[in-house]
Amino acid sequence: MAAADPLSRTFSALADPTRRDIVARLADGDATLSELAEGYPVSVQAVAKHLKVLEDAGLVTRGRDAQRRPAHLEAGVFDLMTKWIERYRRQAEERYRRLDAVLAAMPEPDPSTTDPTMPDPTPPEAGGAR
């Protein structure tokens, strides 16, 4: 079942390490299918399938330059991913800030009191009984 929304298609396309590597290579500049396929121990057809998944997700477009059809990375799609990730990063940071505040407001434990249910944290004396 193909993912319907653009964000799901993007993350799904990037779930494969070969496709992530193709994206990384295209970040350095446009490349043809045969140029991309040189770096993988799979057939050109297999790389073409990976490229098609990236195209369907909107991460890559294919141009026409005379007889060449270079693949081009569409950086705009990464903006959508970045916004989604950033929203959850901010929420997580806020939760950590609240936890820090709670921990800072907690009184320091009194070392003279011990909880009988907890093991004694002091190490046994050297040369003591076994």
DSSP annotation string for 40-107: SSS-HHHHHHHHHHHHHTTSEEE--BTTB--EEE-THHHHHHHHHHHHHHHHHHHHHHHHHHHHHHSP
Dist. CA 124–CA 45, nearest whole Å: 68
* Tokens 């990063």 -> residue: 89
Q: Write out pLDDT tens, residues 29-87.
A: 999 999 999 989 999 999 999 999 999 999 999 987 667 789 999 988 888 889 989 99
Domains of the chain: 6-77 (1.10.10.10)
**How confident is the model at residue 56, as a pLDDT?**
94
- The pLDDT of residue 11 is 92
Query: What torsion do the CA atoms of 65, 67, 73, 75 make, to the nearest 10 degrees?
Result: 20
pLDDT at residue 121 greater than cutoff 70: no
Residue 130: both structure tokens together: 């076994």
The predicted-structure confidence for 73-88, as pLDDT tens digits, reads as follows 998 888 888 998 999 9
pLDDT at 115: 67
* Confidence grade of residue 1 (pLDDT, cut at 50, 70, 90): very low
Q: What is the mean pLDDT of the chain?
A: 86
